[in-house]
Amino acid sequence: MSAAQIRAEIDSYLDQVKDENFLKVVHLMLNSYVKVQEPENDPIIGYEIDGTAVHASTARKEFEADIEAARRGEYITLEDLEKEAETW
């Protein structure tokens, strides 16, 4: 049986289930499975100071936002940074 056939059969079974508690259990099980699979698709590439994991997808979004900000001229020059640092 192919993956598509299995999905279709599972979908058919779920349509027949009337017990909301059973559906919640299936939902939790699938949700847990997907979360376990995430590290394979979105590896941890570092950690924040507080120990929070930084995933590749999150870092990529942040890097892309930083690049766009720089393209819009939202940056500080080295000279301005040195002047600002003198006031610290």
pLDDT value of position 62: 95
Per-residue confidence band for 43, with pLDDT thresholds at 50, 70 and 90 = confident
Same-domain status, 64 and 87:
yes
Same-domain status, 49 and 30:
no
Same-domain status, 70 and 34:
no
Helix-then-strand count for the chain, H and E? 4, 2
Q: What's the pLDDT tens digit per position in 18-41?
A: 999 999 999 999 988 887 776 677
Same-domain status, 33 and 47:
no
- The pTM of the full predicted model, rounded to 2 decimals, is 0.47
Q: How far apart are CA 73 and CA 80, in angstroms?
A: 14
Neighbours of 9 (CB within 10 A): 11
Per-residue confidence band for 44, with pLDDT thresholds at 50, 70 and 90 = confident
Same-domain status, 33 and 51:
no
Query: Could you give the 3-state DSSP secondary structure of residue 18?
Result: coil
Query: What is the span of the domain harbouring residue 15?
Result: 1-41
Q: How far apart are CA 12 and CA 27, in angstroms?
A: 15
Same-domain status, 67 and 35:
no
pLDDT value of position 38: 65
Tell me the CA distances in angstroms from 51 to 29, 46, 48, one per residue in order.
27, 9, 5
Contact between 44 and 31 (Cβ < 8 Å): no
Same-domain status, 18 and 52:
no
- Into how many domains does the chain fold? 2
pLDDT value of position 87: 93
